């Protein structure tokens, strides 16, 4: 999406920073509950009211004060088998999830951060209902890193590991309802400095940080698993945080709207308040609360500090580098990028070595493109495992099946849940001749090209197309 040509970002003194939030899979950050986000009716519901607490310096945060004045009640829906007393704030948190911490350390390492000596969990006051306790637990893992983007260095002041908030179900005038199953999911937060000077730079930074995150194992996938917040300012204005981006392609429109909103206020000689705003689906923003400050932070005394160390942090290869390796063996860039994003690059590289008679591009298409095509055209979900793909490529490499059969074999797997090579066993040359002869006898008056079509359709996936065409031509010579 193009930027607004009527806005001169340089003349406006436009500055921007982003915050990326990525959920992790497995268990929650401070208990052993799974990271499954439920949609079904809850087993339990509790009702709470929250109040603002003073931070470490004794002051109450302005954003927390604002939320308290709203006087809302909060309803929390939970599940007996996937939420526990930690989420309900009726039991102290357990030790920090070591796998989640390991992933956060890997991300911090990829961003060239200095790892903190001691990781101290802090409480960040949040009383908008998104957490039953009235605060979010967060821990600084790395600081003073950098992102290299188009030859430019973008500062990364912090990489944090924190707990995900509840998922809002319903908002009302006097009360809101939340789903507890999302609360406590491990969340990696990456913050850049205000080093981005156009919406396009902001979009690119989000995409590159997303690529770095996906290079680490253990991340959740799908809609809602990664979110972006954008902090913007212009000369004479104030920092505004815009929350709620799911699609990075909407960044241009919403930033341009926010700049125009602030310019309109400045033209009236009115001050611009530092505030948090919500990104709306129509490209506008709406007020959420005043900009919070440092007063909302204070130490979490229920979780012991842990040592920050890069020991046992294995070297990680970025997805972009894996995609370049795939391009190096003859796979087109778009397909290579898609394979790397899908986490299939290592497997494809391995199979290309194991089965040198199969073109690497066909291997990649079979793994990345064919399941998508089947889902769209046949409405069948087929996701072969790596072991099943290896078996398919082994049969193809051995000459037991032809490559045209791979598509139908994957469809059959999606329908039945098992691989069936017998139905697609390659016919012998004599069998091809007999099948073509029988077809020609049944369709004596059909022209040669039409006969080729009939034969190809009948013998699809069971014979080499070149041999089918040759047999038809011999039969009709």
Backbone angles phi, psi at 115, to 5 degrees: -80, 130
pLDDT in the model for residue 458: 65
> DSSP labels for 144-185?
EEEEEETTEEEEEEEEEEEEPPPEEEEE-SSEEEEEGGGTT-
What is the tens place of the pLDDT at every residue in 59-95? 888 888 888 888 899 999 999 999 999 999 999 999 9
Torsion, Cα 337 343 346 350, to 10 degrees, reads -100
What is d(CA 230, CA 304) in angstroms, rounded to the nearest whole number? 32
What is the tens place of the pLDDT at every residue in 243-273? 977 788 889 999 999 999 999 999 999 999 9
- Of the two residues 359 and 68, the one the predictor is more confident about is 359
Q: Which helix (H) or strand (E) holds 16?
A: strand 15-23
Residue 189's nearest CA partner among 83, 85, 113 is: 113
What is d(CA 129, CA 122) in angstroms, rounded to the nearest whole number? 18
What is d(CA 8, CA 234) in angstroms, rounded to the nearest whole number? 11
- For 99, other C-beta atoms within 10 Å of its C-beta total 14
pLDDT at 2 over 60: no
Q: Which helix (H) or strand (E) holds 227?
A: strand 226-233
**pTM recorded for the entire structure:** 0.83
Please name the residues in contact with 241: beta carbons below 8 A apart, sequence gap of 6 or more: 229, 230, 231, 275, 276, 277, 291
What is d(CA 399, CA 391) in angstroms, rounded to the nearest whole number? 13
- Of the two residues 450 and 278, the one the predictor is more confident about is 278
Average pLDDT over residues 146-165: 95
What is d(CA 231, CA 3) in angstroms, rounded to the nearest whole number? 17
pLDDT at 193 over 70: yes
What is the tens place of the pLDDT at every residue in 296-325? 888 999 999 998 776 667 678 999 999 999
């Amino acid at each position: 999406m193009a930027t607004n040509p009527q806005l001169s970002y340089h003349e406006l003194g436009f500055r921007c920073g982003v915050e990326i939030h990525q959920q992790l899979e497995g268990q929650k950050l401070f208990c052993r509950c799974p990271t499954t986000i439920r949609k079904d009716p809850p087993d339990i519901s509790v009702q709470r009211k929250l109040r603002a607490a003073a931070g470490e310096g004794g002051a109450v945060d302005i954003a927390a004060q604002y939320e308290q004045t709203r006087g809302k009640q909060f309803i929390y829906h939970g599940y007996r088998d996937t939420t526990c007393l930690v989420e309900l704030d009726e039991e102290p948190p357990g030790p920090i999830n070591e796998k989640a911490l390991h992933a956060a350390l890997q991300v911090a390492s990829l961003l060239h951060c200095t790892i903190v000596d001691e990781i101290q969990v802090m409480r960040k006051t949040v009383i908008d209902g998104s957490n039953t306790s009235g605060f979010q637990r967060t821990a600084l893992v790395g600081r003073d890193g950098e992102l290299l983007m188009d030859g430019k260095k973008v500062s990364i002041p912090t990489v944090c590991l924190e707990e995900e908030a509840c998922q809002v179900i319903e908002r009302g005038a006097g009360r809101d309802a939340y789903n507890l199953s999302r609360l406590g999911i491990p969340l990696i937060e990456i913050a850049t400095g205000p080093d981005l000077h156009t919406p396009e730079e902001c979009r690119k930074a989000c995409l590159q940080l997303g690529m770095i995150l996906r290079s680490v194992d253990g991340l959740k996938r799908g809609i809602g698993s990664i979110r972006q917040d954008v902090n913007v300012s212009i000369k004479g204005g104030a920092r505004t945080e815009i929350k709620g981006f799911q699609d990075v392609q909407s960044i241009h429109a919403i930033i341009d709207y926010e700049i125009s909103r602030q310019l309109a206020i400045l033209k009236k000689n009115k001050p611009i308040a530092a505030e948090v705003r919500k990104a709306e689906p129509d490209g506008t923003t709406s007020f959420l609360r005043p900009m919070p400050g440092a007063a909302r932070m204070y130490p979490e005394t229920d979780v012991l500090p842990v040592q920050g160390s890069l020991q046992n942090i294995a070297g990680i290869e970025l997805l972009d580098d894996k995609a370049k390796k795939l391009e190096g063996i003859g796979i087109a860039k778009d397909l290579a990028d898609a394979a790397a994003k899908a986490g299939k690059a290592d497997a494809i590289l391995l199979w290309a070595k194991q089965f040198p008679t199969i073109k690497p591009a066909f291997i990649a298409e079979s793994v990345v493109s064919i399941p998508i095509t089947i889902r769209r055209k046949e409405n069948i979900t087929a996701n072969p495992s790596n072991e099943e793909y290896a078996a398919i490529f082994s049969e193809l490499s051995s000459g037991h099946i032809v490559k045209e059969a791979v598509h139908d074999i994957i469809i059959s797997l999606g329908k039945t849940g098992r691989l069936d090579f017998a139905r697609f066993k390659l016919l012998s040359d004599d069998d091809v001749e007999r099948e073509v002869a029988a077809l020609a006898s049944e369709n004596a008056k059909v022209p040669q090209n039409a006969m080729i079509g009939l034969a190809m359709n009948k013998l699809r996936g069971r014979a080499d197309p070149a041999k089918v065409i040759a047999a038809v031509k011999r039969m009709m010579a």
